[in-house]
Chain A
Amino acid sequence: DAKTTQPTSMDCAEGRAANLPCNHSTISGNEYVYWYRQIHSQGPQYIIHGLKNNETNEMASLIITEDRKSSTLILPHATLRDTAVYYCIVDGGGGGADGLTFGKGTHLIIQP
């Protein structure tokens, strides 16, 4: 699995858009970009995934660059409940037989 690089921590004001970057310069053609988050003392929660097109769901938007070497997760109107560690993962398809490879993620702190 390709490795990802994320900032250790980020702050965002409540109500503003939170933009979380992820670098995955060694991603291969069949690997997806996944985002999970983990609120303190809970299990990780799936947010969104994409291959090469931008994706949007009720939680977030995922913007993947044309060369697929980086991506940005966007939480459009951050709330205090969005404070969590956000993990960017690249994988061939849901974690299959090798499991998902989590890094240390980005600790996003939403400020009131």
Chain B
Amino acid sequence: DAGVTQSPTHLIKTRGQQVTLRCSPISGHKSVSWYQQVLGQGPQFIFQYYEKEERGRGNFPDRFSARQFPNYSSELNVNALLLGDSALYLCASSLTGTALTYEQYFGPGTRLTVT
């Protein structure tokens, strides 16, 4: 079975532009979470979606938004890009979005560079 897939692998954008990152969860998984990882730090939680609804949101500005589609894939959108948005964006899928989910499966990430 395929694991979590993310596209694109790498992306270079200019300050002020908008970007859309995509994620396909493991087949059968209904929950998708997004994380941002800047160099030298652990991943930081951005959003969790379950059954197409936002279930949780981390401490990120409104420039960050996401959505989940009926096939459980997800998109992360970032508007008005800042240099500080340069990071590895990770998507994780899990069976459910509720407690006792235990394991999250991470994709390889999308490396975003803002110049």
Interface residues of A (CB under 8 A from B): 32, 34, 42-46, 49, 85, 87, 92-105
* Residues of chain B lying within 8 A (CB to CB) of residue A97: 48, 55-56, 97
Given contact pairs A43-B92, A96-B48, A102-B44, a sample of 6 additional A-B residue pairs in the complex whose CB atoms are under 8 Å apart: A93-B100, A95-B94, A95-B101, A97-B48, A98-B56, A100-B104
Most chain B CB atoms below 10 A, which of A85, A100, A105 = A100
Across chains A and B, the number of contacting residue pairs, with CB separation under 8 Å, is: 79
Partner of B106, one of A43, A92, A104: A43
A97 to B, closest residue via Cβ:
B56
* Residues of chain B lying within 8 A (CB to CB) of residue A96: 48, 55-56, 97-99, 101
A100 close to B102 (CB less than 8 A): no
B90 at the interface (CB under 8 A from A): yes
Most chain B CB atoms below 10 A, which of A87, A99, A100 = A99
A43 close to B108 (CB less than 8 A): yes
B107 close to A43 (CB less than 8 A): yes
CB distance from B113 to the nearest CB of A (A): 14
CA distance A46 to B93 in the complex (A): 12
